[in-house]
């Protein structure tokens, strides 16, 4: 029992400690320490890392649990983001308000953030089923190609959605800006209320973690693992392949929808050029490098890689250049560094940082055999 609670308690303690440190303790430290913390670990980067973690955990359900290679997960991130844009802005002409964060006289649809989270998650779950249905008979590379196609189609629909039969779906390349601020109970959060947003995003990440862990040990989770190990044998043992696969797509997309809504409020808008193919690849790398099938490994991989992409590479590059007197533009070479790291991981630690026990034993047998 204590061993099972070790990681959840660690996540809770880390989240509470980070909140208390940035909200109360950081301002009491000397200016040099404050500058170092804000340079290397800015709260805005931590918040963004949590959003990446939500989506990576959703992809882990599809790839890590059910073994369905999905290269188009960015589509659900985009749908969740646009759900927030439609329901928390002045984009539409209707005047609909439901416990929103703007005055009642402002036109548009302005729903409460929690309602938009539910709506975005439900919409993405529906699209997860619709997108997953045509792929049920496909496996391996063919499945990856079809999901890649959907991942390219959805952002293009939003990019060219300014006039679809006379209806403005997405405002085209201009996107939907701004988004209503988050309001849960008290006053709306401003752009600098980053620690309060951290608490909300950490709670959403904890929710996705809870869903992943509970499903993993339940009947549905065992069915996913059976399909991942041997689809034909699972079918022969009575596992309903169609329902089980669609459930994986739906639950994974649900997590992507939560991440999309959170991302829209994080950047105060949705723009179609933010949802490109590289996001799907980065999410897949987070799952593989962290430890496919292990939620805590995926969480660790997502947080580390998200911080590295947003802050760590740039700051580490500056420190390297200052130390050795070079002028290397490390952020411009991020994909090169990322690719080398992936190759090295696949050569020397294929199971990831924190692999699932089943995967660790299987790869150990392969190496020993």
Could you read off the pLDDT of 307-331 as tens digits, one per residue?
A: 999 999 999 999 999 999 888 888 8
Task: List the structure tokens of 69.
Answer: 């290679």
* Burial (CB count <10 Å: 0-12, 13-18, 19+), residue 8: middle
Confidence check: pLDDT of 13 > 90 = yes
Which of 298, 183, 207, 295 has its CA nearest to residue 258? Answer: 207
Confidence check: pLDDT of 56 > 60 = yes
Q: Is residue 73 within 8 Å of residue 256, measured between CB atoms?
A: yes
Residue 195's pLDDT is what? 95
pLDDT band at 258 (very low <50, low <70, confident <90, very high): very high
Give the length of the chain: 369
pLDDT band at 112 (very low <50, low <70, confident <90, very high): very high
Which pTM value belongs to this model? 0.94
| Helix, strand, or coil (residue 176) | strand
pLDDT band at 363 (very low <50, low <70, confident <90, very high): low
| Residue found under tokens 């723009």 | 271
User: 217-229: per-residue pLDDT in tens?
Assistant: 889 999 999 998 8
Confidence check: pLDDT of 367 > 70 = no
- To the nearest whole percent, how much of the chain has pLDDT over 70? 96
pLDDT band at 84 (very low <50, low <70, confident <90, very high): very high
Residue 359's pLDDT is what? 65
- How many whole angstroms separate alpha carbon 60 and alpha carbon 63? 5
Average pLDDT over residues 190-214: 94
Q: Strand 108-111's sheet: what is its strand order?
A: 88-89, 108-111, 95-98
């Amino acid at each position: 029992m204590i061993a099972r609670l070790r990681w959840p308690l660690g996540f809770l303690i880390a989240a509470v400690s980070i909140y208390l440190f940035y909200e109360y303790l950081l301002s009491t430290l000397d200016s040099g320490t404050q500058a170092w913390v804000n340079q290397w670990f800015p709260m805005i980067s931590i918040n963004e890392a949590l959003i990446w973690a939500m989506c990576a955990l959703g992809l882990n359900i599809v790839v890590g649990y059910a073994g369905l290679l999905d290269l188009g997960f960015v589509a659900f991130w985009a749908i969740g983001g646009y759900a927030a844009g439609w329901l928390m802005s002045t984009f539409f002409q209707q005047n609909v308000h439901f416990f929103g964060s703007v005055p009642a006289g402002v036109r548009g649809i302005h729903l409460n953030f929690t309602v938009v989270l539910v709506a975005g998650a439900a919409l993405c779950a529906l699209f997860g089923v619709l997108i997953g249905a045509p792929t049920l008979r496909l496996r391996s590379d063919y499945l990856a190609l079809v999901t890649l196609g959907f991942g390219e189609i959805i952002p293009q629909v939003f990019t060219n959605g300014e006039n679809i039969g006379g209806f403005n779906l997405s405002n085209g390349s201009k996107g939907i800006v701004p988004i209503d601020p988050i309001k849960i109970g008290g006053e709306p959060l401003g752009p600098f209320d980053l620690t309060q947003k951290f608490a909300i995003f950490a709670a959403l990440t904890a929710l996705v973690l809870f869903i992943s862990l509970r499903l993993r040990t339940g009947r549905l989770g065992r069915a996913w693992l059976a399909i991942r190990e041997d689809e034909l044998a699972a079918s022969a043992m009575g596992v309903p392949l169609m329902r089980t696969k669609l459930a994986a797509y739906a639950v994974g997309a649900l997590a992507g929808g939560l991440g999309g809504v959170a991302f829209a409020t994080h950047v105060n808008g949705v723009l179609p050029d933010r949802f490109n193919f590289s996001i799907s690849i980065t999410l897949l790398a987070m799952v593989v490098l962290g430890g496919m099938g292990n939620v805590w490994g995926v969480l660790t991989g997502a947080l580390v890689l998200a911080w590295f992409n947003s802050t760590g590479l740039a700051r580490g590059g500056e420190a390297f250049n200052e130390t050795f007197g070079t002028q290397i533009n490390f952020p411009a070479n991020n994909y090169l560094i990322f690719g080398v790291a992936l190759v090295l991981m696949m050569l020397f630690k294929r199971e990831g940082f924190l692999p699932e026990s089943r995967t660790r034993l299987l790869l150990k047998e392969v190496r020993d055999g």
